[in-house]
């Protein structure tokens, strides 16, 4: 029988959330057959079987967080698979998404932990090092946990389960929500944020104008006219990279948290192509099927929060980017036009920029060009 641990998924990611199991106890699996889907802080990853055999036990439930090296499955090799073990090892599966080939085999004897005694002086606790660290962080007593690993080994999911039992109504943040915590914390500590607000009067828009398309087009145009906000900034090296291509990150709210897929080379997309990309991407996020590469390399971000609620905001810049555009809820206003009071729709705009990398003048000019583009008449 062989134990299969969660492999290293690369990019320094130590934990993943189990999204879906594709096999159950008693199933027979083949090498490279997808066994489960997990979500890291970067993307969805499908985990294949490293060898053939019968699933004897399965560890971890959908929605649980697991660390690299945590036990996932125990597989009993079939006779045919045993006879060809050499070739199996040679062709061992790799996880979709360039997973590291580092070994993460866990021997229970390696984690025989101290003399924490609870009812009996002879009682000894066995737990993964990651589970011990997690228990310390969450204030959990390992002595009250029954391990679900081999021979009662306490794994990370056991600690999370105990934590949620102790504090009803709380949850351990996972996936996109956990990523958001880290991103927002980094921005708060490292970005000199300043927000400029303005509004675009939509006097010549069609009744059913595609707001998202118009916003993306306006951002592209503004980046081309005032490229200082279409940039990355590295404070450690004091370098700024101003981009020629405009890769727009689009903030998408979902039940699983905030995702920011990236429309790369948005300056090369037609309105119809942009709409098609948006529809397909949002569908992928709702189905939790979005690749890591779809969330990378944004040069500027759009948050259309007004589609839900809100007029003005202070959107958060996501380093190494230096700017984010927020669009609020469209308002009905009365304005003076040619000496007459007339009704008009107004789109509130909030532009947050990193004042370390951009001057106030650059940000103001960007905002002005952005608004002017939004105020152009609809194109038939």
**Residue 18 banded pLDDT, cuts 50, 70, 90:** confident
| pLDDT score of 379 | 85
Phi–psi pair at 86, nearest 5 degrees:
-65, -45
**Inter-CA distances, 54 with 29, 31, 95, 220, Å:** 6, 11, 20, 54
Whether the bond between 320 and the residue before it is cis, its omega within 30 degrees of 0, is yes
Statement: the pTM of the whole predicted model exceeds 0.75? no
What per-residue confidence (pLDDT) applies to 141?
85
The CATH number corresponding to 178-374 among 3.40.1640.10, 3.20.20.120, 3.30.559.10, 2.60.40.2470 equals 3.30.559.10
* Average pLDDT score over residue span 268-274: 96
pLDDT in tens, 88-138: 444 444 344 333 333 334 343 333 333 333 344 455 788 887 788 888 877
Query: For the structural domain made of 106-172, what CATH number should be given?
Result: 4.10.320.10
Asked if residue 328 has pLDDT above 90, the reply is yes
Confidence class for position 360, pLDDT limits 50, 70, 90: very high
Calculate mean pLDDT across residues 18-24: 90
pLDDT digits (tens, 9 = 90+) for 181-196: 888 888 999 999 999 9
Q: Where are the domains of the chain?
A: 1-102, 106-172, 178-374
Tell me the mean pLDDT in the region 169-190. 81
Give the right CATH number for 1-102 from 3.30.70.2860, 2.60.40.650, 2.60.40.1930, 2.40.50.100: 2.40.50.100
DSSP per-residue string spanning 35-77: EEEEE-SS-EEEEE-SS-EEEEEE---TT-EEETT-EEEEEEP
pLDDT of 229-245, one tens digit each? 999 999 999 999 999 99
């Amino acid at each position: 029988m062989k134990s299969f641990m969660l492999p290293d998924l690369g990019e320094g990611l130590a934990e993943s959330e189990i999204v879906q199991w594709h096999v159950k106890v008693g199933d027979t699996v083949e090498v490279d057959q997808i066994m489960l889907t997990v979500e890291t802080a970067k993307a969805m990853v499908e985990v294949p079987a490293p060898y053939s055999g019968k699933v004897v036990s399965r560890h971890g439930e959908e929605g649980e967080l697991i660390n690299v090296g945590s036990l996932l499955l125990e597989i009993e090799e079939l006779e045919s698979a045993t006879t060809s073990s050499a070739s199996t090892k040679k062709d061992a599966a790799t996880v979709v998404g360039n997973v590291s080939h580092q070994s993460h085999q866990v021997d229970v004897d390696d984690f025989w932990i101290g003399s924490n005694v609870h009812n009996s002086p002879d009682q000894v606790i066995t737990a993964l090092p990651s589970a011990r660290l997690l228990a310390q962080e969450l204030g959990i007593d390992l002595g009250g946990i029954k391990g679900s690993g081999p021979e009662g080994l306490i794994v990370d999911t056991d600690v999370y389960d105990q934590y949620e039992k102790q504090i009803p109504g709380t949850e351990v943040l996972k996936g996109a929500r956990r990523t958001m915590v880290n991103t927002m914390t980094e921005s708060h500590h490292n970005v000199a944020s300043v927000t400029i607000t303005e509004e675009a009067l939509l006097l010549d828009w069609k009744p059913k104008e595609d707001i998202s398309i118009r916003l993306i087009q306006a951002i592209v145009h503004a980046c081309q006219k005032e490229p200082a906000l279409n940039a990355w900034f590295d404070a450690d090296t004091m370098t700024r990279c101003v981009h020629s291509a405009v890769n727009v990150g689009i903030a998408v709210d979902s039940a699983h948290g905030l995702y920011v897929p990236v429309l790369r080379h948005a300056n090369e997309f037609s309105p119809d192509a942009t709409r098609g990309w948006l529809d397909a991407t949002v569908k992928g996020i709702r189905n939790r099927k979005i690749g890591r590469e779809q969330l990378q390399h944004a040069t500027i971000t759009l948050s259309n929060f007004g589609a839900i609620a809100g007029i003005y905001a202070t959107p958060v810049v996501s380093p190494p980017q230096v700017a984010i555009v927020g669009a609020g809820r469209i308002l009905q206003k009365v304005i003076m036009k040619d000496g007459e009071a007339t009704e008009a729709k107004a789109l509130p705009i909030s532009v947050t920029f990193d004042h370390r990398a951009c001057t106030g003048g650059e940000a103001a000019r960007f905002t002005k060009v952005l608004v002017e583009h939004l105020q152009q008449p609809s194109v038939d």
